[in-house]
Amino acid sequence: MTPNRPIVVVTRRLPEAVERRLACDYAARLNRSAGDESPDAAAILALAAEADAILCTTAERFDQALIERLPASVRIIATYSVGYDHIDLAAAAARGIIVTNTPDVLSEATADVAWLCLLGASRRATEGDRIIRDGRWGRWSAVAFLGTGLQGKTLGILGLGRIGRAVARRAIPFGLTVVYHNPKPVPDAAAIPAAYEASFDRLLARSHFLSLHAPANAATRKMVNAAALAKLPKGAIVVNTARGGLIDDDALIAALESGYIAAAGLDVFEGEPAINPGYLALANVFLLPHIGSATVETREAMGHRAVDNLDAFFAGQAPRDAVSR
Ligand code: DGY
């Protein structure tokens, strides 16, 4: 180990080009576990001995208890994700640890998956796929597999950040009107094909399709609960590519079972990968395993963005993507 190269703990396997860069520029402690498992808190602490930095992913939880036990040598946690709800920012700040994320580079890929979820749910892709695989496909029918059309309807976006905007842009060629709800209207509203709705309840009442793009925090936790679902028009479709905690799963499952909500397209789940088993029995949910950013190009770009942040920090500059509460 070259003494002047900072030690970086990398909790998970990353794209090859990113690992090569890390191994070249840093004393990198790369995850070489056979199954690419997330290290638990004890393993992270063991790996972090004398380390200067940790490059983690959304799958490892850096709560107060873990952050308080990190060695004093750790000065930065660079997460390989745009979301940072898995890191206790207050605990990190109390230890003087900087936290960075990877915004921008995954917005388009995640918006694509939001649309995959919207279309998969609205056109009953789960049922269609199953019936073919099970050998139960009969003759073409004029009345089977009827989904929900998009033209002339309204897409409600909760959280018009970078990903929400990319989702809104894609809505226009589909003939949808877009409305969004944020705590405040976005400043560059004229550039975005979406109208502001100050009231979340009114957004719900207008949304034939509801797509979630808000961060997970105390204010957004279970925002989509039984009361919110009841305010959507009957037959609405719910899409979530943000964080599972935004949805009250039992309420959504009940609404899907009753048919009040026609379908849901979900890429993220509370407690994932151990998702609420109620979803598994339902044909009107289109399920994906948290793959919003999972393209070759995006995952490489996320890695480089995380390493750019480390480079800036160790060059004595402010990292571009430092996050705070
Ligand atoms: C993120 O970046 O927050 C995603 O959930 C993982 O790519």
Q: Please tell me whether residues 206 and 247 are part of one structural domain.
A: yes
Q: pLDDT digit string (tens) for 80-127?
A: 999 999 999 999 999 999 999 999 999 999 999 999 999 999 999 999
Residue 151 lies in a domain: yes
Q: Please tell me whether residues 197 and 239 are part of one structural domain.
A: yes
Whether residue 245 is predicted with pLDDT greater than 50 in this model: the reply is yes
For residue 303, how far is its CA from the centre of ligand 1 (angstroms)?
Answer: 12
Q: Please tell me whether residues 196 and 89 are part of one structural domain.
A: no
Q: Please tell me whether residues 141 and 206 are part of one structural domain.
A: yes
Residue 2 lies in a domain: no
Q: Please tell me whether residues 74 and 166 are part of one structural domain.
A: no
- Give pLDDT, residue 190: 79
Residue 201 lies in a domain: yes
Q: How far does Cα 7 stand from its chain's mean position?
A: 28
For residue 82, how far is its CA from the centre of ligand 1 (angstroms)?
Answer: 5
Integer Cα distance of 76 and 313 in angstroms? 8
Residue 166 lies in a domain: yes
Q: Please tell me whether residues 224 and 320 are part of one structural domain.
A: no
What's the one-letter identity of residue 296?
Answer: V
Q: Give Cβ neighbours of residue 55 (< 8 Å, ≥ 6 apart).
A: 8, 9, 10, 11, 14, 22, 77, 78, 79, 80, 306, 307, 310
Q: What is the number of domains present in the chain?
A: 2
CATH number at residue 115: 3.40.50.720
Residue 82 lies in a domain: yes
Residue 258 lies in a domain: yes
Residue 243 lies in a domain: yes
Q: pLDDT digit string (tens) for 184-226?
A: 999 987 788 899 999 999 999 999 999 999 999 999 999 999 9
- Among protein residues, the one with the nearest Cα to ligand 1's atom 1 is 81
Residue 1 lies in a domain: no
Q: Please tell me whether residues 150 and 276 are part of one structural domain.
A: yes
Q: Please tell me whether residues 245 and 279 are part of one structural domain.
A: yes
Q: Please tell me whether residues 11 and 156 are part of one structural domain.
A: no
Q: Please tell me whether residues 96 and 121 are part of one structural domain.
A: no
Q: How far does Cα 12 stand from its chain's mean position?
A: 18
Mutate to test the pocket of ligand 1, among 102, 106, 246, 297 (most ligand atoms within 8 A of CB): 106
Q: Where are the beta strands (DSSP E) in the chain?
A: 7-10, 27-29, 53-56, 76-79, 98-100, 154-158, 177-181, 195-196, 209-212, 236-240, 261-266, 285-287
- Among protein residues, the one with the nearest Cα to ligand 1's atom 2 is 81
Q: Please tell me whether residues 215 and 188 are part of one structural domain.
A: yes
Q: Which ligand 1 atom is at minimum distance from the Cα of 290?
A: 5
Q: Please tell me whether residues 173 and 269 are part of one structural domain.
A: yes
Record the tokens describing residue 275, joined without a space. 């998702």
CA atoms in the 13 A half-sphere facing the CB of 10: 26
Mutate to test the pocket of ligand 1, among 38, 79, 110, 302 (most ligand atoms within 8 A of CB): 110
- Give pLDDT, residue 172: 95
pLDDT band at 49 (very low <50, low <70, confident <90, very high): very high
Provide the residue range defining the domain that includes 13: 7-105+295-324
Record the tokens describing residue 154, joined without a space. 């309204």
